[in-house]
Structure 1
Amino acid sequence: MPDLIEIPATDGLHIALAYATPGNLTGRPVYAPGARCALRPAAADCLLRAARAAHRAGLALAVYDAYRPAAAQAVFWRMLPDPRYVADAAQGSNHTRGVAVDVGLLDADGSPLDMGTDFDDMRDQSHHDRDDVPPDAQRNRHLLLGIMLQAGFRSIPTEWWHYELPDAREYALLPESDLVRVVAD
């Protein structure tokens, strides 16, 4: 079985890799053009279950990140060395293990649902169960949480968008992959 498999867009699943665009915490593309969404098979199975659940609800998942090369993790750690939001590149990330995914919800028209903050907003307001997030955004976060948990993922408390396999640390860090290359610094 391969370490990583490419995840294509399907009903209920839209691939929107934020780090291939300037729309992320760095303000510039980190992934080279042609970056593709990839995960280990067990995480891919969970993501596809989540996409089917979203589709049944008339929604879709937007995938903002999945497998992340170690070189990208180093870029993020240099920019924001806060372990609440970014794993220390020396320790590795569950994204670099190929078992974590960052997602949001899209409505039937493909527009993002209000989650109270943008993806990659590294502030307390991005944490789950915030009293200072509007009720509609709180409902959307809970809906996403339910979809992802029932599909087999677990959440972390500080990022409404981040989900990973429950046994993520049991997976080895992966070497660089041709599916996702990093833009040179």
Structure 2
Amino acid sequence: MRGILFAGLLSCAVPPPLPAHAASPLPDGFVYLADKAPEIRQDIRYAGRQNFMHRPLAGYRAAECILTEAAADALVKAGKLARAQGFGLIVFDCYRPARAVRDMAGWSAAGAETDAAYFPQTRRDRLIAEGYVGRKSAHARGSTVDIALAPLGGAPAGPHAAAPCSRHDRQTVDFGTAFDCFHPFSRTASKKIAPSAQTARRQLLALMEKAGFRNYPAEWWHFTLRNEPFPRTSFDFPVTAR
């Protein structure tokens, strides 16, 4: 009797093995970039306070870059192209949950101030109308990335242009504006920035296009995979730690 009871307790104490797909919290077709390209630096701004809303956005539970596997594989190629030119890559945002997109839109409509660091000449309640914030975002489809070139080894990049936003991304090369500077100077083809910054933008554009991405012309940092696997689907799962 004791032996039967003991065996029963043992069988209850050892759960059956989980199916293989249960090991990852991500939907099928998505990966953590760090598992594909650990050499690409990550500075996921919307998971913290260093962004235009000055707080973490809804759905960002970790500072992790999540992408579709196709986009991550393309970034691996982009990283190799960058290293051949003496650069590394740094990402500021990758997959963005739909709830974060709604959070941005709601926040943008709820104030009328400007912000010298992010939107120095456009009122907060005009950010959507002027195209700086969207009610929908390609980021929610999982194949869009905000990215910049960085010196190999993480060495300081040197002086950055001060205008038009009163902040700098000193870990990147000089692109003429910082990431998420909502200003006409952030347009990829802007001629209002220093020649060296124009060159940096052309270099980033060329290598990302060669890796299979297309640029959003209003933002030098914003790229979407041309043949994205989910072109009509906005996802809303949270960004979680690996």
Q: Please report the TM-score for the alignment, with normalisation by the length of structure 2.
A: 0.67
Contact 2:62 2:239 in 1 (8 A): no
Q: Does 1:40 align with 2:49?
A: no
Contact 2:43 2:63 in 1 (8 A): no
Question: For residue 166 of structure 1, what is the aligned residue in structure 2?
Answer: 226
**Cα deviations by residue, 1:27-53 (Å, 9 ceiling, x for unpaired):** 222264523110111111111111111
| Superposed displacement of residue 151, structure 1 | 0.4
Identity of aligned residues (%): 34
Distance 2:72 2:232 in 1: 14
Query: Which letter does structure 1 place at the counterpart of 2:89?
Result: L
Bigger drift between 27-36 and 103-112 goes to 27-36
Larger radius of gyration: 2
**Cα deviations by residue, 1:42-89 (Å, 9 ceiling, x for unpaired):** 11111111111112222111100000011111122231324623221x
Contact 1:6 1:179 in 2 (8 A): no
Matched residue SS, 1:64: strand
Q: Does 1:27 align with 2:62?
A: no
Question: For residue 144 of structure 1, what is the aligned residue in structure 2?
Answer: 204
**Cα deviations by residue, 1:113-168 (Å, 9 ceiling, x for unpaired):** 00000100111000011111101111111111011100000001100000002245
- Alignment length (residue pairs): 176
Query: Which letter does structure 2 place at the counterpart of 1:108?
Result: L
Gaps of 5+ in 1: 181-185
Contact 2:90 2:150 in 1 (8 A): yes
| Superposed displacement of residue 176, structure 1 | 1.4
Q: Does 1:176 align with 2:237?
A: yes
Contact 1:5 1:40 in 2 (8 A): yes
Q: Give the direction of change, closer, same or farther, for the CA distance of 1:142–1:176 in structure 2 (3 Å limit).
A: same
Contact 2:61 2:239 in 1 (8 A): no
Distance 2:239 2:134 in 1: 22
Matched residue SS, 1:96: helix
Matched residue SS, 2:221: strand
Question: For residue 106 of structure 1, what is the aligned residue in structure 2?
Answer: 150
Match of 2:193 among 133, 137, 141: 133
More helix by share: 2
Q: Give the direction of change, closer, same or farther, for the CA distance of 1:51–1:35 in structure 2 (3 Å limit).
A: same
Matched residue SS, 2:222: strand
Matched residue SS, 1:19: helix
Contact 2:188 2:220 in 1 (8 A): yes
Match of 1:115 among 155, 175, 179: 175
Contact 2:66 2:239 in 1 (8 A): no
Runs of 4+ in 1 over 6 A off after TM superposition: none
Query: Root-mean-square deviation (CA), in Å?
Result: 2.0
Q: Please report the TM-score for the alignment, with normalisation by the length of structure 1.
A: 0.86
Distance 1:109 1:63 in 2: 15
Question: For residue 183 of structure 1, what is the aligned residue in structure 2?
Answer: none
| Superposed displacement of residue 178, structure 1 | 4.9
